[in-house]
Amino acid sequence: MTRLRTLLAAAALVGTAALIAGQEPLPSLVLPGAGLPAIDRGLREWDAPRPPGGARTAISRLDEPDPDMLRASLIVKFADDAPAETRVRTLSGIHGTRVPRQAWADFDVVMLPPGEDPAHAAATIATRPDVEYAQPRYRIHKLFVPNDPLYSRQWNFPAIDMERAWDINQGASSNVVVAVLDTGVAFQTTTLRFTGQAIFPFPPLGQVDVPFAAAPELGGADRFVAPRDFIWNTDLPLDMDGHGTHIAGTIGQVTNNGSGVAGLAFNVRLMPIKVLDGDWDAIFNSPFIASDDLIARAIHYAADNGAHVLNLSVGREGPPAPAVRAAIEYAVGRGVFVVVAAGNEFEVGNAPNRFADFAADIRGMVAVGSTGRGNQRAFYSSTGPHLELVAPGGDMRRGGTAAGILQQTYDPDVVDRFFLSRFGPPRFDMFVYDYYQGTSMAAPHVAGFAALLMQQGITTPAVIEALMKATATDLGTPGRDNEYGYGLINPRAALRGMGLLK
């Protein structure tokens, strides 16, 4: 795959050179109204079997037994005129013992022998004339647990106490705009005509009509503002990879709709900005490829077009990136909070992502590392002095596929067709719920978190950064360290802020 990418990048460079020389690229052709609805192909889960007795990494509270009532006790309300002897007799019938009445209670709590079924005991005495009502002590749950059926597989949200954070702020609002600078987003249904060039060892595809569909779980057209494609130089930043769509889902997947998965800031509007070319962009000969100048322009574009938060799950190693740094400083100066993935290079030299290595110098920008299911640093997550926060990004080495971050994106079976035997035009209208891992997946948690804080009234980027750091859950070496920065984000603690005493 690396070789293929090299070849594709070289081909794209040739295309760019041709463009610069004055030769117009073949424009893609939009076939209006020719798009078909998206196809939802469900969950994609090939979880490799784990050895027995492996390390327990799951921390999801959803996996734990959660009885819906307190055991061996019930609530009983006697009639006001019921004599004391009658009450004692009634309770003795179920071997119950009344505990001293609590303040503000006009009923009694009765303890039962261990193993006694509270529901049965309550039914036994409920019909007696001296009893107004009797019921088990049902447990009260949090106000908000998304009803999306695959939410139980999203360990990443309970890991940062999101359910209690959502009690305070349910997914921000449409007043907050989060820009996703990535491979584009599956936000529109249409068909585009491309000419696929020959790239060794693949034959030319010729003219192909490629179907695109809006991701069903990203919401309608009103979710998206000011879309921009810097790879094709259009206003149609359609994803031809799946990376950007997955990230957009973590930020703003439609939530509590009884379908699919949840997102963190599910009421925000998204600004899809395509700055990263995928393999198919190269095969279809996109006029531009991702480079520092293009990223810098895109950051300016987002800041000038109303973005409040900017997610950059992209980067590079190598020499410093002054153009990108200047653009980020410009955006922060305009009140935009910038989140950058710290990088996935820990095991391959641990070189810093050059778009993130100056994060510590800019108040209002954070570099985000990645944790796995047990809140340990993910094996790939880059470390260093630039790292400021960590968030769940998945670690499939420690927990198998299910330890990745689950969101809706393209079905790779119809996108990654880079095998000679099945090489053919892709489709971008078939979706699955797929597990990804990377600091790319960690960053959108922080972007969504920033959106919640913006909605809560904290709008200054430097204050958002300080609040996130002050409330982070310290991991690793006490205090700030190069592995976890200031710690794991804690949205609930930040949204609550400080009281006078606590």
By the rule CB under 8 A, 457 interacts with another protein: yes
Q: Measured from the CB atom, is 40 or 167 closer to another protein?
A: 167
* DSSP one-letter string for 161-200: THHHHHHH-SS--TT-EEEEEES------EEEEEEEPPBT
By the rule CB under 8 A, 105 interacts with another protein: no
CA proximity to 187, closest of 228, 148, 151, 147: 228
By the rule CB under 8 A, 116 interacts with another protein: no
Out of 30, 72, 123, 168, name the contact with another protein by CB under 8 A: 168
By the rule CB under 8 A, 221 interacts with another protein: no
Out of 98, 300, 334, 496, name the contact with another protein by CB under 8 A: 496
Parallel, antiparallel, or unpaired: how do β-strands 228-229 and 269-274 relate? parallel
**DSSP-derived 3-state class of residue 433:** strand
In the complex, what is the shortest distance from the CB of residue 339 to another protein, in angstroms, rounded to a whole number? 19
- Cβ 200 vs Cβ 329: under 8 Å: no
Q: Measured from the CB atom, is 429 or 465 closer to another protein?
A: 465
Q: Measured from the CB atom, is 22 or 457 closer to another protein?
A: 457
Question: Using CB under 8 A, which of the segments 195-203, 287-295, 420-428, 457-465 binds another protein?
Answer: 457-465
- Cβ 366 vs Cβ 468: under 8 Å: yes
Phi, psi of 23 (to 5 degrees): -85, 125
By the rule CB under 8 A, 65 interacts with another protein: no
Question: Using CB under 8 A, which of the segments 173-181, 288-296, 397-405, 492-500 binds another protein?
Answer: 492-500
Binding-site size for another protein (CB under 8 A) equals: 21
Q: How far lies 481's CA from each of 132, 343, 387, in Å?
A: 60, 16, 8
Name every residue whose Cβ is closer than 8 Å to that of residue 491 and which is 6 or more positions away in sequence. 160, 161, 162, 165, 264, 449, 452
By the rule CB under 8 A, 498 interacts with another protein: yes
Q: Measured from the CB atom, is 316 or 496 closer to another protein?
A: 496
The residue type found at 202 is F
SS (H, E, C) 267-298: CCEEEEEECCCCHHHHHCCCCCCCCHHHHHHH
Handedness of CA 442, 183, 260, 493 (dihedral sign): positive
Site string for another protein, 146-165 (x = CB under 8 A): ------------------x-
Dump strand ranges (E) for 330-402: 337-341, 365-371, 389-392
d(CA 165, CA 16): 46
In the complex, what is the shortest distance from the CB of residue 457 to another protein, in angstroms, rounded to a whole number? 5
d(CA 228, CA 275): 9
By the rule CB under 8 A, 499 interacts with another protein: yes
Q: Measured from the CB atom, is 122 or 365 closer to another protein?
A: 365
In the complex, what is the shortest distance from the CB of residue 131 to another protein, in angstroms, rounded to a whole number? 30
Q: Measured from the CB atom, is 336 or 458 closer to another protein?
A: 458
Burial class (CB in 10 A: 0-12, 13-18, 19+), 111: middle
Q: Measured from the CB atom, is 84 or 500 closer to another protein?
A: 500
By the rule CB under 8 A, 70 interacts with another protein: no
Bond into 201 cis (ω within 30) = yes
By the rule CB under 8 A, 463 interacts with another protein: yes
By the rule CB under 8 A, 45 interacts with another protein: no
d(CA 61, CA 65): 8
d(CA 245, CA 432): 11
Out of 199, 467, 475, 489, name the contact with another protein by CB under 8 A: 467
Out of 62, 123, 466, 483, name the contact with another protein by CB under 8 A: 466
Question: Using CB under 8 A, which of the segments 55-63, 74-82, 264-272, 450-458 binds another protein?
Answer: 450-458
CA proximity to 485, closest of 408, 380, 382: 382
Question: Using CB under 8 A, which of the segments 38-46, 173-181, 210-218, 491-499 binds another protein?
Answer: 491-499
Q: Measured from the CB atom, is 186 or 494 closer to another protein?
A: 494
In the complex, what is the shortest distance from the CB of residue 442 to another protein, in angstroms, rounded to a whole number? 23
By the rule CB under 8 A, 332 interacts with another protein: no
In the complex, what is the shortest distance from the CB of residue 480 to another protein, in angstroms, rounded to a whole number? 17
Q: Measured from the CB atom, is 422 or 502 closer to another protein?
A: 502
Q: Measured from the CB atom, is 144 or 379 closer to another protein?
A: 144
Residues making contact with another protein (CB under 8 A): 164, 167-168, 456-458, 460, 462-463, 466-467, 470, 494-502
